[in-house]
Every structure is written in C-alpha cells, then in structure tokens.
Structure 1
Amino acid sequence: MERKLSPRLRAYIPSGTVDNTTDFLRDFCKVLTTDGSNNLVEDILACETDEELRQLVESIRTGLVVPMRAHGGKTPTEATPSPRSGVEDSTETLKGLNIEPITRNPQLQLRRHCLERDGNKCLATGYYSFDHDHPPNALTTRLEAAHIIPFALGSFRASDSEVFNRHASIWVNLKRYFPVLREMSFTSEQINSEKNMMMLDQRFHKEFGQFNIVFEAAGVPHQYRIKAFPGAVPTSVLRELPENSLVAFRVHKGSWELPDPRFLQIHACIGNFLHMSGQGEIIDKILRDFGDCGGLAPDGGTNLEDLLAVSSLSLLRTKVNETPGDPNSAEKQREQRPRGKQGSGTGNKPWA
C-alpha cells in the first residue's frame, strides 16, 4: 500500500504549517483491513488536486471518525462531502432503502438476552452482575449493555431530510472503508441486536464507548486480547483486567448470537486510528472547549465542522445566538475565519 501511496503523497503540497493531510491518510490506511485500505488507496489516487485530498480527509473525519468518537448521546448531523466519484449515487441508493431510525424501546429486552448469554458477567473482567443471581462471595459490579457499533449511528430524525441525508453519508463512508458491513447487508436498523452488544462493567462501558479500550482477535474463535491505550484509561480500571488481558466469549445460556468479531474488528480499527493519529484528543478538546465556554471559542479556534458533526444544529444556533439571516451565522463564521489559524492544543493538524 505504501508503495502505491508514496508518489502521490510525496507530491502533495501542504496548505500551511499545520497541514497533516498525508499523515492522516497514511495512519488511516494502516489500521484498515486489506479491502478497506484498497478502497482508501483508490480514493486517494483519484484525487487530482491537493484540495481534493484535503476534502477527502475532511469527509472521512466528519463523516466517520468524529461521529464514531463523539457518539455519546449526540446524533451526527453534518459531514463534508467526499470528492470521490459515485459517492452521490451510493448515498441515493442507501436513502432508497427507507432505513428507519432505531429507538431505546427494545433495550430492556436486549439487556436480558445479553445477560443470559454472557452468564450475568462482564465480558472484560468476569465480574458478576450486582443485581442478578451470582455465586456466593463472587466479585460483583454494575453491568451495562454496550453497543459495539454506536447506538447514535442508528438514531436520527427521519422527518428531517437534511439529517437523513447526513445519516446516509456517514453509512456510505462506513461501508466504503469497512466493506464487510456491505457484505453482511448490515444497516443502522440492526444496531439494536445481540450480536452488536456485550455486557460490560459500567466503567469499562465508558472506556469502550470512547475507544480507549478495544478487543483484538487473539487467533482463536471468540477469543480476544483486551488492548487499553496508554494514558487513556484510569489505573483503577486497568487493574481489573485479566493478568494476560485474554478473554474468551461463550454462550452461557439461550441461543443469542455472541458479539460479532467483525464489529469488534471495526471498533478496534477506529480505536487504533484515534490514538495513533491523535484524533481522539483533538475531538475531545473541541467538545470540552465548546462545553466549557458555552459556545464558539472567541479566538476563532473552534472547528465548526467538528461541532456540526456531533451537535444538533438547533443547539449550535442557540449557543452562538444565531437567527435566520444573521450575518454572524455559523456558515458566515466558517467563511470569515482565517484559514490555518490555530486554537490552543490542536497541534500540527490541517483542521486546526
């Protein structure tokens, strides 16, 4: 892959000192499976201009990476269009499937199924559910049903055509770089299923949901090595892991499917990329800044594209006191903000 990419990426001319376009693409290519990296290489080589390469990076960030990382209760709402040809046709095809949004309604039943399947235990630590039958003197904890492909990627307002279009764009990216989802005919309607869920200690659920902990295949069916990224997980959580970090999944009771290895592989790919590239820290900082100041950074350092990728447009308008036609609207601010200007802590990135 590197041999194919090197000539094109060496020819790339950075737009400024904070342009990390080539690093982003190399890192993303490294974590993908062969079929996904082949698609990425094809997309890179199809970019005739450097501007198209930068647009490709933004389409992957806002239409895949940011929504996956910042999924906690937030519905992805905006994605930069991809420059690759045929993407609009793919989006229209996906929209034509009449995908329905998922809800929290079946969660209680799914939780019961997963508890039964997993033996009332956390799949990471082996601790039993505090609230259910367990052996005397067993170590117990509070368990939660964790989605592998985030719940928010299936939750959207079907009545809002703009939101639905963005939902379709995100899933086109997912299936482009993780083609196994297309082979499985997996859609967002199937996110609420036992094969996409696992019982975890509530502390592990949080770290797993933020891609700070991933499960990597250990070479034996349904056996995994738990990988925790250095500096991202509290030591109080780390010391609860098995000594060799190996866990094996099995059906304890019932006929429910085990967590699908293909979903866990996708989750691990995203986790590895977030930490390898530093994208996780960048996204977290943007969200923290937005929450701390209650709006856009006064120095112009806030990345509006990232905020739109994880926030509702109505919330964003409220925070910046927008009204229709206001010259200080988000779109106007995006146009007026000097390109290449850094906000504190964003580092050497093209989207700073």
Structure 2
Amino acid sequence: MSSSSKTKLDRKLNSYAPLEPTDKTKEFLRDFFKILSPDGKRNLAGDVSGCANDETLRQLVQSIRNGLLIPMKAHGGQTPTEITPSPRSGVEDSIENLKSLNIEPISRSSQSQLRHHCLERDGNKCLATGQYSHSHAHPRNAITTHLEAAHIIPFALGSFQANDGEAVDRHAKIWVNLRRYFPILRNMSFTSEQINSEKNVLMLDSQLHTEFGQFRLIFEATGVAHQYRIKSFPDTATGPIRNLPKNRLVKFRVYKGSWELPDPKLLEIHACIGNFLHMSGQAEIIDKVLKDFQDCGGLAPSGSTNIEDLLAVSGLSLLPSNANETPDSQKPAEKQRPPEKQDTVSGLSLLPPNVDETSHSQKSTEKQRSTENQGRLCAKFSDTENKPWTY
C-alpha cells in the first residue's frame, strides 16, 4: 500500500514547477509523507493527487502548516485564528461531521486531580530522568526536581469557546487535519475531550517539559512494550538533557494505582511530528514566525516573515499549554502587549491579540492576495544542521 501511495504522490509532484529556487513544496510533501503511517500516507497521496494545479499544492502545504504544525507547536498553547483551508475534496463535509459531534471544550477544573493521578502512577518521578518531585514524598538524599504534567496532544487543542462559532470552526479544522494524517486518532476514538486524561499526560522535569512541548525531545518506540528511546535534536537545550540516561532508554510502568500509562500511539504521533519538523527545517521556520510576532507584534523589520503564517498567529489566544505544579497565584504577570508594527513591504498592519476590529478588515484584505504571494517565506538561516526552507 505504501509503495502504491508513494508512486501516486511522486507522479503528481514530479510535474510540479517551483515558483522560485526557494520553493520547497515538493520536499515538504515528500518529507511529510515519510513520517506518516501507511493509512496517513494513503490519505496524503490522495490529497496531493487530487490537487488541480500547482497553486492548490501550495495551498495544501499551507493548510498542513497553519492547520496542524503551528497549532501543535505554538508557544504557550496559542491557537491560530486563520487556517488555510485544505483544497482536498470533501474537507467541508469532514469539518461539518466533526462539528456535529458537539465536542465539549476541556477546562482546568480537573487539572489538580489529573496531576495527582499521574504523579501516583509515575512514582512521583520524572519519566525521562527518574528524578523525584521536590514537592512530594521522596527517599532521603534522592535527587529532586520540579515536575510538570506534560500533555502529549497539547491542552490548547481542546480549549475553545463553545459559544464562539469561529472558535468551534477552527477547532474542527485542526482536528480534521490531525485525524486525516494520523488516522489512528479516529481508530482509537480519541477526541479533544480526552486530552485531559492520564493516557495523554506524562510527568516530566519542568525544563524537559519545555523541550518536549516544542518537539525538541521525543520518545521513540523500541519494540518493547512501554520502552522508549529518548531523542533530542541540534536545537534542544543542553542543560535539561544532561540528566537523561546515558543509553537514552526508559521504560514506563505503573508504580501505584490503576491509571493508564502514556499511550504509545499518542507518543508515536508526537515523535512523528518532531522528526518531521527537524527533518524538513520547519521547526526553525515556525519558531521564527512565532518569535517575530512575540517580539514585535507583527512582521520582522526585514520584511522576511511569511504574511499568511503571521495572520495565523496574529490573533492567538494566550492559554497556558499544560498543567504544572505552580499555582496560578505564583505565575508571572502577563507582559504588556507590544505596540503595533507596520509591514513596510505590503502595508499590512499586524496587531497583537485583543486589538480592535480594524485588524480584521486588514486581514480580509490580505487574504485576497494570491496564494503564490502568501505562500512564501523569504527568511534564511545559517549554522543549522538541517537547512530550513523558505516558501
């Protein structure tokens, strides 16, 4: 099946004509194909084959970027407000079918209990380093650290306003993409309502949690039940990983209680996305988009930022991404949002979150631009093992 899917994908991509030397649409789709399961490969090959022309192929790439990758990787649990629609036939029916399930948003009301269950299950220890929670019972002279509950599928992908039609629509679009390319989610009937469940959470050192949440640290299956090899990347912070086992092997087990261990299928999805982000250079590209918005609230001064990607994050909702052991009262105050910045190339004014309705009209104007112009990113990076792409 994978062989025939690859033939189908290659047949379409071989005829693709890049807009310019930096257009890596073909490479993006081929690399994404590599990390998917056979069912995911079949779906992607069908979507590529069904694209009517080169512009719709570029649109497909953008729909995967800001309708799957950016939501999974966005800092602080931010969720995109603009998602490029997939050009595949039947996608609207899939969105409406998912919306008809009336999936309820998750909340933080049960976080304390969830954290207690996972701490009990994991023996009050970090699943990666074996270090004990500083705040809970531990042997005398044991090495301790601050633990946090790390969600495999991010918390933000289940948090939305149920009475907000646009938010419900965005939620459905993201999950249609996830279930399309990772069909195991559909097979295991996993929806966003299950994000706050023990099988989607593992206790990690707070710094490792950051690396895990940014897909700079992944757990790859070894073929032995609940045994994983921890993999890091060139951009992984070196401090947090110094206490990992020398052979990078860990095995999960239930220390107490009857709570489910982190689900291997969910960890496989996380690992697939992590590998793709670094294989393709998308990790650095997406980080740059998010950093440009975080630093200046708009486009990079050089005019190098992808306009469509910034439209996807310019209205991000700032939600903490995962439960941790820090009470809300001790969390730092929200930073004052930066002033408006002007895109000197396009004249588009991109504002930080919670701006007035003027920004919506500016977004509408920008969305009318051709997909060719929206689909390109001119930034270039140096000194990286995986040379990032520009679109």
TM-score range, shorter chain: over 0.9
Look up the SS of the partner of 1:169 in the other structure: helix
Deviation of residue 3 (structure 1)? 3.1
Deviation of residue 145 (structure 1)? 0.4
Q: How does 1:304-315 map to 2 (within 5 A)?
A: 304-312=307-315
- Partner of 1:96 in structure 2? 100
Look up the SS of the partner of 2:76 in the other structure: coil
Higher relative contact order (CA 8 A, sep 6+): 1
Let me know the Cα RMSD of the aligned residues.
2.4
Give the counterpart of 1:198 among 197, 202, 206. 202
Are 1:109 and 2:106 counterparts? no
Deviation of residue 156 (structure 1)? 1.1
Pair 262,280 (structure 1): closer, same or farther in 2 beyond 3 Å: same
Deviation of residue 78 (structure 1)? 2.1
Deviation of residue 322 (structure 1)? 7.1
Alignment check: 8 A CA contact 1:149 1:191 kept = yes
Give the whole-Å Cα distance in 1 for the aligned partners of 2:153 and 2:356. 35
Give the counterpart of 2:172 among 168, 192, 207. 168
> Structure 1 stretch 269-278 or stretch 306-315: which is displaced more?
306-315
Alignment check: 8 A CA contact 1:55 1:82 kept = yes
- Partner of 2:362 in structure 1? 329
Give the whole-Å Cα distance in 2 for the aligned partners of 1:196 and 1:218. 19
Deviation of residue 141 (structure 1)? 0.5
Deviation of residue 23 (structure 1)? 0.3
- 1:148-183 superposed Cα distances (whole Å, 9 cap, x missing partner): 000010011222111211110110010000001101
Give the whole-Å Cα distance in 2 for the aligned partners of 1:326 and 1:100. 29
Unaligned runs of 5+ in 1: none
Alignment check: 8 A CA contact 1:323 1:329 kept = no
Deviation of residue 264 (structure 1)? 0.1
Unaligned runs of 5+ in 2: 318-336, 338-348, 382-386
- Partner of 1:155 in structure 2? 159
Give the whole-Å Cα distance in 1 for the aligned partners of 2:222 and 2:359. 55
Deviation of residue 62 (structure 1)? 1.0
Give TM-score scaled by structure 1 length: 0.92
> Structure 1 stretch 149-158 or stretch 324-333: which is displaced more?
324-333
Look up the SS of the partner of 2:77 in the other structure: coil
Q: How does 1:1-352 map to 2 (within 5 A)?
A: 1=3, 2-229=6-233, 231-312=234-315, 318-319=351-352, 324=357, 329-333=362-366, 335=368, 339=373, 342-345=377-380, 349=389, 351=391
Alignment check: 8 A CA contact 1:216 1:226 kept = yes
| Matched residue type, 2:76 | G
Pair 311,254 (structure 1): closer, same or farther in 2 beyond 3 Å: farther
Deviation of residue 235 (structure 1)? 2.0
Deviation of residue 327 (structure 1)? 10
Deviation of residue 341 (structure 1)? 6.5
> Structure 1 stretch 332-341 or stretch 108-117: which is displaced more?
332-341
Give the whole-Å Cα distance in 2 for the aligned partners of 1:17 and 1:121. 49
Look up the SS of the partner of 1:219 in the other structure: coil
Deviation of residue 335 (structure 1)? 4.5
Deviation of residue 343 (structure 1)? 3.9
- 1:262-293 superposed Cα distances (whole Å, 9 cap, x missing partner): 00000000000000001010011111122222
Give TM-score scaled by structure 2 length: 0.84
Q: Using the aligned pairs only, state the percent identity.
A: 62
Deviation of residue 214 (structure 1)? 0.3
Alignment check: 8 A CA contact 2:376 2:390 kept = no
Look up the SS of the partner of 2:92 in the other structure: helix
Alignment check: 8 A CA contact 2:35 2:272 kept = yes
Pair 170,342 (structure 1): closer, same or farther in 2 beyond 3 Å: closer
Give the whole-Å Cα distance in 1 for the aligned partners of 2:67 and 2:280. 17
Look up the SS of the partner of 2:256 in the other structure: coil
- 1:195-215 superposed Cα distances (whole Å, 9 cap, x missing partner): 000000001000000000000
Give the whole-Å Cα distance in 2 for the aligned partners of 1:157 and 1:115. 30
- The alignment of Structure 1 onto Structure 2 pairs a total of residues equal to 350
Look up the SS of the partner of 1:72 in the other structure: helix
